[in-house]
Chain A
Amino acid sequence: MGIFSKLFKGPEVDVEKSNANARKMRLLFDQVVENGGDYRIIFGYTEDVARFNYGFVHGSKTRIGNLIVGWNEAPQTIVVVPTVPDLSGCGDPTYYRRSEILKAYRNKYPTDAFIIYPDKKSYIGINAYDWLEDESLYVYVSQEGELSAFTEFFMNQFAKK
């Protein structure tokens, strides 16, 4: 029974690796965001799907952008910091303050992404999951608790029509 239960258990999270990456995410976030310690953070990503048709060759290209997503309940602000799967560095933060954005909602189809429109012309779709195994594409971090806290904040405090 032991062997079979192990076989059917599926992949398991490497807690040590996940914790190390969570620490790196925090270091990066605090480095670029003022009062970063006031924010709770999760890992998220954006997906940019572009279709192409080059004559007899056509298909689609997907570009994935890794993000450290921070949120602070008091000022109702979400901060997005671009990063890379190995967390070797990060870009400049973008702030989405509820009072300044146009609208924010959770998508239902094709993915349950968190959508924020800062204005009429642009939007960001943040995908976030408990854990993504593919380290070459995504930051390896287990974040079940944090993700549910973020979802609750987004749906109950940040969402705007």
Chain B
Amino acid sequence: MSLGTIGAFLVVLLLVFVVGNLWFHLVEGVLKWLKGLFRGRKEPPAWHPLPPEQEDDNS
């Protein structure tokens, strides 16, 4: 097998990978948009940030 054939094969693999990724993200995006459309606006869950730690009084 020539170097050119190997190179072409690798390019095809790379193309399959890139197209597959683009397709995945496209479908994910559409599904997310559709879900958002049907579910409507949901209140975000409550979130409590970490309280500041109290300094030790040793120093």
- Count A-B pairs with CB separation below 8 Å: 39
Residue of A with least CB distance to B30 = A54
Of the candidates A56, A87, A89, which one forms a contact with B47 in the assembled complex, judged by CB atoms under 8 Å apart?
A: A89
How far, in whole Å, are A91 and B44 apart by their CA atoms in the complex?
11
Chain A hits for B53, CB < 8 A: 23-24, 27
Given contacts A55-B23, A57-B20, A57-B24, contact A31 B47 (CB under 8 A): no
Chain B hits for A35, CB < 8 A: none
- Assess the B47–A90 pair: CB atoms within 8 A: yes
Q: Size band of the B side of the interface?
A: 10 to 19
Of the candidates A24, A54, A56, A92, which one forms a contact with B50 in the assembled complex, judged by CB atoms under 8 Å apart?
A: A24
- Assess the A90–B48 pair: CB atoms within 8 A: yes
Q: Does B49 contact A (CB under 8 A)?
A: yes
Q: Does A60 contact B (CB under 8 A)?
A: no
Of the candidates A54, A82, A90, which one forms a contact with B27 in the assembled complex, judged by CB atoms under 8 Å apart?
A: A54
Of the candidates B45, B46, B50, which one forms a contact with A28 in the assembled complex, judged by CB atoms under 8 Å apart?
A: B50
How far, in whole Å, are A24 and B53 apart by their CA atoms in the complex?
8
How far does the Cβ of B17 sit from chain A's closest Cβ, in whole Å?
10
Given contacts A23-B53, A27-B53, A54-B27, contact A91 B48 (CB under 8 A): yes
Residue of A with least CB distance to B49 = A89
* Contacts of B7-59 to chain A: CB distance below 8 A: 20, 23-24, 27, 45-51, 53
Chain A hits for B24, CB < 8 A: 54, 57
- Assess the B23–A92 pair: CB atoms within 8 A: no
How far, in whole Å, are A31 and B45 apart by their CA atoms in the complex?
16
How far, in whole Å, are A87 and B51 apart by their CA atoms in the complex?
11
**Pairs across A and B, CB under 8 Å, 22 listed:** A23-B53, A24-B53, A28-B48, A28-B50, A31-B51, A32-B48, A54-B23, A54-B24, A55-B23, A56-B20, A57-B23, A57-B24, A57-B27, A87-B50, A89-B48, A89-B49, A90-B48, A90-B50, A91-B45, A91-B46, A91-B48, A92-B46
